[in-house]
Amino acid sequence: MSLYLCHEQPDLLVFDAEITSARPGAIRLSRSALHPGGGGQLCDQALVHGAHGSARVVEVRVEDGAHWLVFDLPEAMLDGRVTVAIDATRREHLARMHTATHVLNALVFQRFDGALVTGAQIMGDGTGRMDFDLPDADNDALRALEPLIEREVAAARPVLSVEVPLLEAQATPGLLRSAAVAPPPTPDGLVRVVDITGFDRQACGGTHVENTARIGAVRLVKVENKGRHNRRVRLELAGAVT
């Protein structure tokens, strides 16, 4: 499923839930606003407080379609009703960087003949990278995208999300940008599309800021050759921990 509570209520960072299943070091909840990760984005982390103790969630693991929240201590056990506080700083870094990668992706797609993404990594420390299928690209031309990224951030474009039928997404040029994977559809066959108003639309299941201005200062720190076809572009938010 590509739609999560974090999509429907992106500002829900503290919530209550019942533990529906538990084992040493992990729990399942009746509801969860944590993003589970995917598409290159790392998962949210959180603190879980219960009547009999607290634990830190460091991973969201999908097993047989169920989301398990995995603790940093493998022996930790919780039960009953809990309050979950998502790491807001980490979420903010992930959302800002994910939207920044969409801006980069759009510029590469527009200026390099529809080049596809071959890999991505969006970290919780304000850093990220994207790999593109660009065997003949001039790396200096990629480095020259930095002021264009800054321009789109300064444009303060609204960032919206909509759901479209999977068949429509597959038939719309440029909506699916990855050379390997696409966000999974919902049970009723819809795909989430992130729309940077007037600039870019692409399928995505990640978390984003609501306006490009919230990306803030972002630097294009490095362009690397990775194999015969791939160019890797590294980005960093202002104040990122590296």
Residue 39 Ramachandran class (φ > 0 left, ψ -120 to 50 alpha, else beta): left
Rounded distance between C-alpha atoms, residue 16 and residue 50, angstroms:
10
Query: What are the tens digits of pLDDT across the range 152-166?
Result: 999 999 999 999 998
Query: What are the tens digits of pLDDT across the range 83-103?
Result: 999 999 999 999 999 999 999
Query: What are the tens digits of pLDDT across the range 108-154?
Result: 999 999 999 999 999 999 999 999 999 989 999 999 999 999 999 99
Of how many residues is the chain composed? 242
* Inter-residue contact 231 to 132 (CB < 8 Å): yes
| Domains defined for the chain, CATH in brackets | 5-86 (2.40.30.130), 91-237 (3.30.980.10)
CA nearest to 48, candidates 20, 12, 87: 87
Q: What one-letter code names the amino acid at 58? A: V
Rounded distance between C-alpha atoms, residue 28 and residue 35, angstroms:
14
